Structure 1
Amino acid sequence: MNLDLDKALTSMKDQIAKYCQEKDIDNPVLVGIHSGGVWVANELIDSVKTQEPLATLDITFYRDDFTRAGLNPKVGHTQLPALEDRHVILVDDVLMSGRTIRAAMNEIFDFGRPASISLAILYDLNHRELPIQADIVGEKLTLSADQRVKLSGPDPLTVSIIDTK
């Protein structure tokens, strides 16, 4: 399976501009989840009408598997403006189980109560464990149980399918 990263990003840019217009969202806060979500958000920021710089979110300590044996996290940096009554567009590279997005929303609410949170995902794998759906999707993929999407970057930004077996 070949993935067309440029096509997926272009689709997201078009969708995000249309979504903000339809929902009458002005000056949203674009938040990328470390690390792939930040890379994707950097590609999208110019298609969003906002005066805010890109915000970043590290969900390491909010993950539900943080205390499991063998987890050796690389802790990044969360950089968020005040979010009270702001529209947030949360960006990540892959949506699979929904657990990363749940953790991200938990952390966002620790910074204030946003007016809304919209979800923009580069690749939706549709293997949900939680009832979380994206508003903006670059591409929906059907992979076997032993395949994953790997985004590498940020410069150059590339994507591949890897086998976990």
Structure 2
Amino acid sequence: MPPKQTVVLDARAMERTVKRMADEIVELNAGTERLVLVGIQRRGVQLADRLVRAIADAEGVEVPRGALDITLYRDDLQTVGPRPVVGPTSLPANIDGARVVIVDDVLYTGRTVRAALDELADFGRPARIALAVLVDRGGRELPIHADVVGKKLDVPAGERVDVLVSELDGKDAVVLVPEGDAA
């Protein structure tokens, strides 16, 4: 890893953080009944998978998991280009009355979560929607907060947070990277 990157969570710390978040999600929802985790494409989906496994290990219950691709719900869609790449959205058959937890890797401006809420509304009316994020880096542009946070960071101007997951990146880590650098 280049020296200008700062590792915030290594693989072991990330695993411990996900387990703690899974416990907090169960506690927040008073159990697992009617609980559904929905990851935001891309890394939110992998994190939701890990949370589902951690809940299954702790509670002995397989919580349904879905995925949202918010591309077409973005408020900056016109800047994405003429042919945005849209991934799959898949939800359990019926989310009406469910307790849905939206899962994402990094909470920053809040615009991704707003888009996820808009898309979720097209699929039904959950009893409650909560937000779980691995990293809250501050800098909100919308009045959105996370109910479950793995790690809160104060990110200096000119840096970004990259979440790496082994399924996509070959390793697990959370790193601070100078803007413009690739992880």
TM-score normalized by the length of structure 2: 0.80
Question: Partners in 2 of 1:11 and 1:53 — Cα distance?
Answer: 19
- Alignment equivalent of 2:172, drawn from 149, 157, 160: 157
The 8 Å contact of residues 52 and 63 in structure 2, kept in 1 or not, is answered as no
In structure 2, the partner of 1:41 is: 48
The 8 Å contact of residues 27 and 51 in structure 1, kept in 2 or not, is answered as no
Matched, 1:31 2:53: no
Cα 1:69–1:85 shift into 2, 3 Å: closer
| Residues paired across the two proteins, number | 163
In structure 1, the partner of 2:132 is: 120
Question: Partners in 2 of 1:116 and 1:69 — Cα distance?
Answer: 31
Question: Partners in 2 of 1:136 and 1:67 — Cα distance?
Answer: 31
The 8 Å contact of residues 83 and 113 in structure 1, kept in 2 or not, is answered as yes
The 8 Å contact of residues 39 and 154 in structure 1, kept in 2 or not, is answered as no
In structure 1, list runs of 5 or more residues that go unmatched. none
One-letter amino acid of the structure 2 residue matched with residue 62 of structure 1: Y
Structure (1 or 2) with the larger CA radius of gyration: 2
Cα 1:77–1:25 shift into 2, 3 Å: same
Q: CA RMSD in A?
A: 2.0
In structure 2, list runs of 5 or more residues that go unmatched. 1-5
What is the aligned-residue identity percentage? 41
User: What's the offset of the Cα at 1:146?
Assistant: 1.2
Cα 1:20–1:96 shift into 2, 3 Å: same
- Alignment equivalent of 2:99, drawn from 84, 87, 103: 87
User: What's the offset of the Cα at 1:113?
Assistant: 1.0
TM-score normalized by the length of structure 1: 0.88
The 8 Å contact of residues 7 and 174 in structure 2, kept in 1 or not, is answered as no
Deviation string 1:11-41 (CA, Å, 9 cap, x unpaired) is 31221222122xx561311100000101111
Question: Partners in 1 of 2:32 and 2:18 — Cα distance?
Answer: 20
Cα 1:98–1:90 shift into 2, 3 Å: same
